[in-house]
Amino acid sequence: MERRSERSDNMARKTAMAAFAMASAEDLRILGKEAGLVLDAKSLRGPETGLVTVRGRIGGGGAPFNTGEATVTRATVQLASGEVGHAYALGRDKEKVRLAAILDAIWCSPSGREVVDQRIVAPLMRIQAERDSRRHAEAAATKVDFFTMVRGED
């Protein structure tokens, strides 16, 4: 039972961290401010920029191979109350990653999770979902419909 709840906690945290990683620094700052959060913490590591080697799979599903590298920035911070937060995101935006790590630390605090989930993660995911569905609709409009020829026969 405890293991299951730890797993669902991990999933929820992973979702929140993913939402921060795909957001912009400005989104994080504005949403954090609107939620009344103090975005301040001690830095334990970084923010620092480095590389990850991106892997693909031979044939799409076979053995892994290294495709190339991507820039990634990461940070680890600690709140005055002791909670530690981490953040990783593609790109070189150190301020964004610092804010993301602080939000992660707040998410880990007993009182912080709900406010971060509701006031920051939820709106970020909504923005992302809207962006994705628009992208999909644009691409879907270029689908070839081989059956259009038989339309309008009445």
Partner 1 sequence: MYVAVKGGEAAIRNAHRLLADRRRGDRSVPALRLDQIVEQLGLGVDRVMSEGALYDRELAALAIVQARGDLIEAIFLVRAYRTTLPRFGYTRPVDTAAMLAERRVSATYKDLPGGQMLGPTFDYTHRLLDPELAEGSEVPEPELRDEAVEAMPRVSDILGGEGLIEPDGAMPAGHVTGDITREPTEFPMERDTRLQALSRGDEGFLLALAYSTQRGYARSHPFVGEIRIGEVELELEVPELDFPVTLGRIRVTECQMVNQFHGSAKVPQEFTRGYGLVFGQSERKAMAMSLCDRALRARELGEDITAAAQDEEFVISHSDNVQATGFVEHLKLPHYVDFQAELDLVRRMRAEHEAAHGGGERKEAAE
Partner 2 sequence: MLSEQIIGGFSSPVFDAQSTFRALMDAFARPGSIHAIKAGTQPPPSLSAGAAAVALTLCDNDTPLWLDAALQGAVVSGWLGFHSGAAVAATPADAHFALVADTANLIALDNFAQGTQEYPDRSTTLVLQVASLTSGEPLVLEGPGTNGMASLAPTPLPRHFIEQWKQNNARFPRGVDLVLVAPEGVACLPRTTRIGIVRA
DSSP 87: E
Among 24, 56, 114, 130, binds partner 1 (CB under 8 A): 56
| Residue 152 near residue 50, CB atoms below 8 Å | no
Q: Does 82 bind partner 2 (CB under 8 A)?
A: yes
Q: Does 72 bind partner 2 (CB under 8 A)?
A: no
Beta bridge partner(s), residue 64: 57
How do strand 42-57 and strand 64-78 relate by DSSP bridges? antiparallel
| Residue 53 near residue 79, CB atoms below 8 Å | no
Among 84, 122, 125, 127, binds partner 2 (CB under 8 A): 84
CA pair distance 49, 93, nearest whole angstrom? 8
* 142 touches, from partner 1, partner 2, none (C-beta below 5 to 8 Å by class): partner 1
Residue range at the interface with partner 2 (CB under 8 A); choices 24-32, 74-82, 125-133, 145-153: 74-82
Q: How many residues bind partner 2 (CB under 8 A)?
A: 7
* 44 touches, from partner 2, partner 1, none (C-beta below 5 to 8 Å by class): partner 2
Query: Which positions from 75 through 94 interact with partner 1, judged by CB under 8 A?
Result: 76, 86, 88-92
Q: Nearest Cα to 19, choosing from 32, 38, 36? A: 32
Q: Does 44 bind partner 2 (CB under 8 A)?
A: yes
